[in-house]
Each structure stands twice: as C-alpha cells, then as structure tokens.
Amino acid sequence: MLEQLCGFDGIDMKRIYLDHASSMPIDPRVLKFAMPFLNKNYENPSSIYSGGLETKRAIEESRRKIAELVNAENTNNIIFTSSATESNNLAIKGTALRNIGNGKNILASAIEHISVLNPMKELQKNGYTYDIIPVDSNGLVDLDRLENLLTNQTIITSIMYANNEIGTIEPIKKISKIVHENGKYLHVDATASAGRIPIDVQDQEIDLLTISSNDMYGPRGASALYVKQGLKIQSILPGGGQERGIRSGTENVFAIVGMGEAARLAKNDMNMESSRLKNIRDKLIHEILKIDNAYLTGHPVKRLPHHVSFRFSHIEGESILLNMDMSNIQISTGSACSSKTLEPSHVLLAIGLKHEEAHGSMVITLGKSNNLELVPDIVKVVKETVNRLRKLSPLSNLR
C-alpha cells in the first residue's frame, strides 16, 4: 500500500532508511514531470526562440509553485540558486553587502547551519561584526538575549525555522516581531522544514527564506531564496544576469522544474504526510525512551513531525551508526559536517551538553518509505546496538 502510494522504487525495501535529512530519493512523480527538461526541452531559457521561451515558462511556473508553498507576495520574490548553502550565503552576504550603509552587525543563533555561520565569519574580514544568540536546553532561541543583542547597527539576523539535528521548531513570528522592532532584516533557513510544516512568509514577516529542493523530494542542484518585496540584495555570483541579475549562470532547468513540482506536491500532501510521520515519530520516541540513560534531544513537543533525536550515555554516535548499518538500518549521528571531523556537534554543545554527552547522539529523520510497522524492528535494533556497545565501552562500569 505504501509502496503503491509512494512508488519509491529507488529505495531497497529490505533496508530501513532513516536519514532523510541527509538525502532523499527524488519523488517519482517529480522525476516524471521534470525528465523532459533533461533530454527534450534542453533549450537555454535565455534564448528567445520558441524552445527557449518554453523552458523559461517552465521556470516561471516553478517559481509560482514555490511562491505558493511559502505564500510569497509575488513570484518574482523567489530567486533560484544551486543549493541551500548558496541560498544561505546569498542571504547573509547579499543583504549585508548591499545595505552596508545601514549597519555592519550580524546576529545568528548558536545552532545555525555552518552555511550561515561561515559567511558571517567571512564578513568579519570586511569590517562586519557578529554575535551569537544562545539557545536553551531544548534548542529554543533565547528571546531576551536576542532583544539585548539587537542594535540599530544589526543589518541581518539569521534564525533557522527548525533545526536539522534536534528537530526543534523556533517561534519565528515572535522572533520576527523582536527583530523588526530593533534590527533590520530577518533571514530564516527553512531547509529542514519547508514542505514539512506550513510556512507563511507574509504572516510570519520573514524577509529572506532559504528553501531546499532535495529536502522535499526534489532533485539536487536547486534551491531558492525568497527575498521580500523591496529588499535589495547584492549578487554574490555576477555574470550573465540571470535571476534578475542576483544569481547569474545558465539555469539548471531540470532541477528547478523538479523543485517546483516537489513544492506543489509537498503542499498538497503536507497534512496527511505530517500526521502519518508524527505517529511513527511519537511511537519511536516512546519506545526508545525506555532504554536506560537514553535522552531525547531537542524540544519534546515543538519538533519537526519526522524528527527523532536521542543521546545515549557512554557510547559513541559513530559506533551506533555503523552497528545499525550492519543491521541494514541507516541513521545519522548529527550534522554531516561534524561527522566528517568527528568533533562534537556545535548544536549539541549549544544546548548545554558536555563533549562526552554530545558524542553519543543518534538522529532519525523519517520519510515516505517508512511506516508504523517498521517501529518494532527499529526499536529492537537500537536496543541491541546500545546494549552491545555499552558492554564494550570502557565507561560502562560507570553506568
């Protein structure tokens, strides 16, 4: 039934894939829709003959679908880029550089993705300053500190809609009110949340919003940045003047068209899919919490519908990941960037965990190929893995 619903033949059904925040298969409906733009409608959208006009029209249609997903006031307020990383860079650098006369201070929460934090640090070389807003033990931004840190020099504040590692959803409407009373512009990284939970840039008074294609079953190689009507940003990729001169480079038409269709489907399916995943999420949390010294990370209630994250005392996240992989279950142990360096995640440290606590983390992000019937198998493997690793752990006698 589920396979029929999803048609996800890209996934080997024998394995249980629980790492949708890292990567997802393209939705077969999206692939079918966008495929002609790989091999049939290949004309350059800047060409003014009929084929070019057709690909241009397809891009504009995709822009409209993405504008609808987040309730942008105008389709022209959507700028296509190549990745969420690029959208975040464009938001931070583009806004700061273009509005330099209005302030040189940038704020971001301590749990932002590295593609927000690094551009901010880079701007320091150009004379900008930045401050980090702390979060509480559930990952919620400290609103008093935000208010205190904002000055008339604060040109842009960046707070993610929901965190990819601990699932916590931030109170964006409250945050935008505070930012607009004192500072200038609010950028929201919605990579982990767009297509999963409702986002309304007008109601929530968001100035810039990052939306990722491959985080909503669209193709890789496309992302979007919503830029509020009237807000001027500087191009960080000058060239042939595509995307209203803000983001040059011949458009990746296949990925852009696919992203639009993925956005349309996500909007349609959101309510049903979110409540389906929430059921699985809550059952998993309930069962995994029964394991000794297992602690949920992130907010217990204000969390993404598909997000389950834990830490286990006395064992390493990497060992959990590799052991579970031997049972054909793929999970994550935090941000892909920190898993490369084996450094504890800056997100887990920001919520107040000690280094040794932050090392034992496990992140499950659910998706269309998962169902409620898988829960007992997943829980069994998590329990066995944790028990086995604890027996081997030199710290196990400390339990």
∠ Cα 167 169 172 (to 5°): 155
CB 300 to ligand PMP: min, Å: 21
In SS3 terms, 309-320 reads as: EEEECCCCHHHH
Quote the CA–CA distance of 129 and 226 in Å, as a whole number.
25
Contact 344, 316 (CB under 8 A): no
∠ Cα 143 133 203 (to 5°): 50
Cα-based torsion angle of the residue sequence 70, 169, 284, 311 in order, rounded to the nearest 10 degrees:
140
Instruction: Return the number of the residue (85 or 154) whose C-beta is nearest ligand PMP.
Output: 85
CB 191 to ligand PMP: min, Å: 4
**Amino acid at residue number 205:** E
With a CB cutoff of 8 Å and minimum separation 6, the contacts of 164 are 21, 113, 191, 192, 335, 365
Quote the CA–CA distance of 84 and 66 in Å, as a whole number.
14
Quote the CA–CA distance of 94 and 89 in Å, as a whole number.
7
11, 337, 349, 379: the active-site residue: 337
CB 375 to ligand PMP: min, Å: 25
Contact 170, 80 (CB under 8 A): no
CB 53 to ligand PMP: min, Å: 30
CB 66 to ligand PMP: min, Å: 16
> DSSP code of 170?
P
Q: Residue 256 — φ and ψ, nearest 5°?
A: -65, -45
Cβ of 295: how many Cβ atoms within 10 Å? 16
Instruction: Return the number of the residue (55 or 191) whose C-beta is nearest ligand PMP.
Output: 191
Give yes or no: 337 in active site.
yes
Instruction: Return the number of the residue (84 or 389) whose C-beta is nearest ligand PMP.
Output: 84
The burial of 303, by beta-carbon neighbours within 10 Å (0-12 exposed, 13-18 middle, 19 or more buried), is given as buried
Instruction: Return the number of the residue (92 or 246) whose C-beta is nearest ligand PMP.
Output: 92
Instruction: Return the number of the residue (262 or 315) whose C-beta is nearest ligand PMP.
Output: 262
- Reduced to 3 states (helix: H, G, I; strand: E, B; else coil), residue 128 is coil
CB 159 to ligand PMP: min, Å: 11
Quote the CA–CA distance of 284 and 310 in Å, as a whole number.
11
Instruction: Return the number of the residue (103 or 195) whose C-beta is nearest ligand PMP.
Output: 195
Which residue(s) pair with 329 in the sheet? 16
Quote the CA–CA distance of 246 and 90 in Å, as a whole number.
9
CB 179 to ligand PMP: min, Å: 19
Enumerate binding residues for ligand PMP (CB under 6 A): 83-85, 88, 113, 115, 160, 164, 189, 191-192, 212
Q: What is the DSSP string of 272-291?
A: HHHHHHHHHHHHHHHHHTTS
Instruction: Return the number of the residue (208 or 315) whose C-beta is nearest ligand PMP.
Output: 208
Q: Which residues are catalytic?
A: 337
